[in-house]
Amino acid sequence: MKQAKLILDKDYRIAPIDKRIYGSFIEHLGRAVYTGIYEPEHPSADKEGFRTDVLRLVQELRVPVVRYPGGNFVSGFRWEDSVGPVENRPTRLDLAWKTTEPNTVGLHEFCSWAKKADTNVMYAVNLGTRGVMEARDVVEYSNHPKGSYLSDLRRKNGAEDPFGIKLWCLGNEMDGPWQMGAKTAYEYGRIANEASKMMKMADDTIETVACGSSTRVMPTFGEWEYTVLNECYDNIDYVSLHRYYGNSFGDTDDFLASTVDLEDFIHTVGAICDTVKGKKNSKKNLYLSLDEYNVWYHSNNADQTLYKERAWDRALPLLEDVYNFEDALLIGLMLITILRNADRVKIACMAQLVNVIAPIMTRPGGGAWAQTIYYPLQQVAALGHGVALQPVLQTEKHDTAHFTDVPDVDAAAVLGEDGTVTLFAVNRTGEDVALNADLRAFEGLRVLRHSVLHHEDNKAVNTELAPFNVVPRDIAPAKDAQNLLLGKMSWNVIQFGKG
Ligand code: AHR
């Protein structure tokens, strides 16, 4: 059997974990909103029309923050369309996703849903086709208590108390040629700076996220971050990263090595932040918001057919990836990578939450169920609180089509406030690995629990009729930390404590 060795020490610390790394995203896209979170005709709908079966799954995921309302959608969106009496709201064409948006669910409704879901809103403003003034207006409308035209309009529209939205995205993927109102780095850096400045003048308690490159493979990646940050460094708090992976070539080993790229992406953007910090001789550190990450490829062909056959319909079933077991392993690896970069990554949003490349699926009028990728996020969001520890891991490495020196085992560890240690580990190979964990300075800890996500079939999925086909299961805990077993192709959550 393969062997691996891990050293954990309470003095080897990366950083306290910001719980916002367990965030998600809901865009007015496909069936995320309509027949996703909102379906007034559904048997489980509450009096506002929100599906309570979906709410329960979201609550069980413990999502601390949800980015909204887009995505590409936001670059054609007028926030004013989404407030006031529903019957007066305009129906608009959404040019980003070729659908029709009725604006039935808007800012007030979404904030109400967020309260029920026990989460916070991360709101994106349109800096593609709108400007600085509209951006500061929506901050005033949402967060100013009362006594101004916009805050009193909110009260008149039914929300006496401010929404108190603390986190704001300055547009979306502004470098992408597909983006409505796409900009050059300099143009965007300037508008991001001015928008953030004015939004903070309207409410100085908010934080803002500037758009990094829409993906690492953009030809302008790097140069974009440098130029944008050069313009807005002093007035923003985070820069965004977006990253999706897919197993389009049917090469699972290569697919599961994708987090080598993610880690390098995070380090590279961090290095650019520090370069701009150095150039400006600034004392301020900039942090990262990985506010779109996931697996995304299963639905690509079906979407092209939908556009041909049903363009401009409402709630088109777009981006409905059905996730399999190997996708869940990659999500586990992505979460491990995020945790190991807890000193830099303060926000991360799985894109998205319901139906659209999502951990939760629904059928209109029917059930709601958890996809395979739901489980690693749920487990890390439940247990990954405290301080991220620096795991010192000795494991064999292998090469894949696009990556070299890929560790067989990848891991992150968290020291909880109560002194428990939780290890998240993936064995990405087809052979079992015996793991010897040396917990040195942690005295008297024993293995309390070991949960494993594994399926013999990498392509196994959960469906409405078989929702628990791929779920984590507890196995008998090893007698001690030196004798752990990481089964082939598995996601593992191992808790150590004194209990
Ligand atoms: O999450 C789906 C889309 O992916 C978002 O709208 C966009 O920001 C990204 O390209």
Transcribe 447-473 into DSSP letters. EEEEEEE--SSTT-B--SSSTTSS--E
CA atoms in the 13 A half-sphere facing the CB of 469: 19
Residues 6 or more apart in contact with residue 57 via CB below 8 angstroms: 360, 368, 369, 370, 374
Catalytically annotated residue among 173, 207, 231, 320 = 173
Ligand 1 pocket test, pick from 173, 209, 297 with the greatest ligand atom count within 8 Å of Cβ, gives 173
Single out the residue of 8, 13, 22, 6 nearest to residue 427, CA to CA.
Answer: 6
Q: How far apart are CA 288 and CA 201, in angstroms?
A: 23
Active site annotation includes 194: no
Q: Please count the other Cβ atoms lying within 10 Å of the Cβ belonging to residue 263.
A: 18
Q: What pLDDT is stored for residue 173 in this prediction?
A: 98
Q: How far is the CA of 435 from the centre of ligand 1 (A)?
A: 38
- Nearest residue CA, atom 7 of ligand 1? 71
What predicted TM-score, i.e. pTM, was given to this entire model?
Answer: 0.97
**pLDDT at residue number 379:** 98
Pocket test of ligand 1: the residue of 172, 179, 354 to mutate, having most ligand atoms within 8 Å of its CB, is 172
pLDDT recorded at residue 205: 98
d(CA 394, CA 455): 26
Relative to the CA of 29, which ligand 1 atom is closest?
6
Strands 360-362 and 473-475: unpaired
From residue 114, how far is each of 68, 81, 109, 299 by CA, in Å?
A: 10, 20, 9, 27
Which residues on neighbouring strands pair with residue 318, listed in sequence order? none
CA of 134 to the centre of ligand 1 (A): 22
- Ligand 1 mutation target, pool 27, 126, 296, most atoms within 8 A of CB: 27
Task: Write down the pLDDT at residue 443.
Answer: 86
* Nearest atom, ligand 1, residue 357 CA: 1
In this structure, which topology does domain 18-383 adopt according to CATH?
TIM Barrel (3.20.20)
Q: What is the pLDDT of residue 440?
A: 83
**Superfamily of structural domain 2-9+389-497:** Golgi alpha-mannosidase II (2.60.40.1180)
- What is the model's pLDDT at position 131? 96
Nearest CA to ligand 1 atom 9: 71
Q: Report the nearest-CA residue for atom 4 of ligand 1.
A: 71
pLDDT in tens, 51-89: 999 999 999 999 999 999 999 999 999 999 999 999 999
Tell me which residue of 154, 207, 211 sits closest to 187, measured CA to CA. 211
Q: What is the pLDDT of residue 115?
A: 98
At 256-270, the pLDDT tens digits run: 999 999 999 999 999
Distance 72 CA to ligand 1 centre (A): 6
Is 101 annotated in the active site? Answer: no
- Cβ proximity of 152 and 130 under 8 Å: no
Torsion angle of the four alpha carbons 269, 274, 275, 280, in this order, in degrees rounded to the nearest 10: 130
What DSSP state is assigned to residue 18?
A: P
Distance CA 438, CA 423 (A): 12
Please report, in tens digits, the pLDDT of each residue of the chain (499 residues total): 999 999 999 999 999 999 999 999 999 999 999 999 999 999 999 999 999 999 999 999 999 999 999 999 999 999 999 999 999 999 999 999 999 999 999 999 999 999 999 999 999 999 999 999 999 999 999 999 999 999 999 999 999 999 999 999 999 999 999 999 999 999 999 999 999 999 999 999 999 999 999 999 999 999 999 999 999 999 999 999 999 999 999 999 999 999 999 999 999 999 999 999 999 999 999 999 999 999 999 999 999 999 999 999 999 999 999 999 999 999 999 999 999 999 999 999 999 999 999 999 999 999 999 999 999 999 999 999 999 999 999 999 999 999 999 999 999 999 999 999 999 999 999 999 999 999 988 888 999 999 999 999 999 999 999 999 999 999 999 999 999 999 999 999 999 999 7
pLDDT at 416: 96
Q: What are the residue boundaries of the structural domains of the chain, listed by start?
A: 2-9+389-497, 18-383
User: What is the pLDDT, as a whole number, of residue 411?
Assistant: 98
Q: Which atom of ligand 1 is nearest to the CA of 294?
A: 1
Kindly list the protein residues whose Cβ atom lies closer than 6 A to any atom of ligand 1. Answer: 27, 70-72, 172-173, 214, 292, 351-352
Taking CA atoms only, the protein residue closest to ligand 1 atom 5 is 71
